[in-house]
Amino acid sequence: MEFWIVKQDNFYITTPIYYPSGQPHMGHAYSSIIADVFARFKRNDNCKVFFLTGTDEHGLKIQKAAEKNNLDPLIHCNKISKIFKDLTKKLNLSNDDFIRTTEERHHKAVTELWNRLVKSGDIYLSKYKGWYSVSDEAYYNVDEVSEKNGKKFSTFSGSQVEWVEEESFFFKLSAWEKKLLEFYEKNKKFILPTSRRNEVINFVKSGLKDLSVSRTSFTWGIKVPNNSNHVIYVWLDALTNYLSALNFPNISDKLYKNFWPASLHVIGKDILRFHAIYWPAFLLAANIEPPHRVFGHGWILSGDEKMSKSKGNILNPLEIIDKYGIDSLRYYLMKEVSHGSDGSISLKNLELCINSDLANNYGNLCQRVFSFVKNNCNSKVKKNNNTTDSDKKLFDQINQSLKGLRDEMNNQNLNNYIKSVINISFLTNKYINDEEPWKLKKTNNERMNNILYIALEQIAKISILLNPIIPNSTNKVLESLNMTAKSINLAFLDKGNIFDGEIKIKELDILFKKIT
């Protein structure tokens, strides 16, 4: 088995860092799994990957959550952040680091970024008067607020807002309007999907106001250098985590040199404004190159509503993992929920998806071919060069499906990618049905070997392609094909084949049980 290095790129990918205000839920799992799939895909495509996730621990929202539990904020954060960290294992995330914004390394990076913004003349002291949502940790304009039953709500997120008047430092966001528009124009894929890019551009074109970047009415945060009455606005603090994890401000550090600017921030559409407007503006002002891309996925809905703690309509990821296994959850979320738009999930659809794609299609393909080869070929098949028209037809169909796969992944079209790969599995199953190798054992052993060789080679390809999505199950299959970790690699997309003429297998246990 050969291993070809096709290219060696560095790829830095991040999840949002999560508020440890309550227990993790499916929305958090969703953001994290999407990022993990891209991280694993890039590793399998010979890139050097750094994958970051973590928790966002400062601000009024967290201070209030700690008060509610009668805990010191840091003790509260230690407790809940650990639950998020444990979840990374349960979701089988391949993250290289887990950052907490209460860590010293983060404090250093935020202070440096602030000092740079002061030095560049982008920060000034004034007074903030306006609406604030603690739940979103966001300021809203008057035209973004509406009234219901005597209370005020953000029309953007639906969360309650309160009136705030306090001394505050401001970031000169308005001065960056033109430069941001130029930046979006030059970097057409900075914001994906395109519908989100348009939303952001329209928002910026409608005029940006300076942004309040410090608070004085509470203390849980990073103090403004030389003015300890102010804590730094939690979003300026939180966004900087992407730099802190690379040991910024030590710009000669290997991590920073290798991985900044970030390749991809995976986020939900609700936090696009912060990542696609504020973040590049802060970075440009501080003379730091902005990230290459922000991908804003849609929401997971339960019925027609966003799944969220406050709405009480949560499907608990841990219960689903216990019952169906992590690969089933990962596959379902990645395939069924279209990443650009919102998607409704339900247990019923999860079960249908497991049965149709995993148990009856990919799982069945692996099981039937492995057990046939074990029982009839002494666990070993050999290829000969006599290919038939039906073999060629299968190769053509598969090559057609393989063609755009790298591009689909590199443009975050995960749903299309999965549909193409599962179609290869469907075609291979059909090929076996049509070729009926079980009829050839006594009459044409050579042809039978060829059919099984072709089927096993397709199984290897499908497993490598599905590996980022369902790593546990595909690793079992690839291990049973005696493939080493090194050969779980997308080189075959360029090279064409995986094996050298003979395939030996080991026993394979059932991968996915059909749900009845």
Q: Which residues of this chain interact with ligand MSP, rule CB under 6 A?
A: 16-19, 27-28, 30-31, 56, 238-239, 241, 267-268, 270-271, 299-300, 306-308
CB 478 within 8 A of CB 460: yes
Closest CA to 235 of 215, 263, 251, 249: 215
CB of 222 to ligand MSP, least distance (A): 14
| Token reading at 356 | 């149709």
CB of 85 to ligand MSP, least distance (A): 14
CB of 166 to ligand MSP, least distance (A): 22
Q: Pick the closer one to ligand MSP by CB: 30 or 114.
A: 30
Q: Pick the closer one to ligand MSP by CB: 17 or 276.
A: 17
CB 138 within 8 A of CB 157: yes
Partner residues linked to 145 by β-bridges? 154
- On the question of a cis peptide bond just before residue 290, with omega within 30 degrees of 0, the verdict is no
CB of 134 to ligand MSP, least distance (A): 12
| Token reading at 6 | 């096709």
Q: Pick the closer one to ligand MSP by CB: 52 or 465.
A: 52
Angle among Cα 110, 252, 254 to the nearest 5 degrees reads 100
CB of 335 to ligand MSP, least distance (A): 16
CB of 90 to ligand MSP, least distance (A): 16
CB of 410 to ligand MSP, least distance (A): 21
Segment holding 344, helix H or strand E: strand 343-344
Residues 6 or more apart whose Cβ sits within 8 Å of residue 89: none
Q: Rounded distance, CA 236 to CA 225, Å? A: 14
Q: Pick the closer one to ligand MSP by CB: 28 or 116.
A: 28
Q: Pick the closer one to ligand MSP by CB: 62 or 394.
A: 62
Q: Rounded distance, CA 280 to CA 418, Å? A: 32
Q: Rounded distance, CA 218 to CA 411, Å? A: 42
Torsion of CA 464, 467, 473, 477, to 10 degrees: 10
Closest CA to 276 of 212, 176, 191: 191
Q: Pick the closer one to ligand MSP by CB: 298 or 468.
A: 298
CB of 19 to ligand MSP, least distance (A): 4
CB 490 within 8 A of CB 44: yes
Q: Pick the closer one to ligand MSP by CB: 16 or 291.
A: 16
Tell me what percent of the chain is helix, strand and coil, each rounded to the nearest 5. Answer: 50, 15, 30
Residue number, nearest CB to ligand MSP: 268
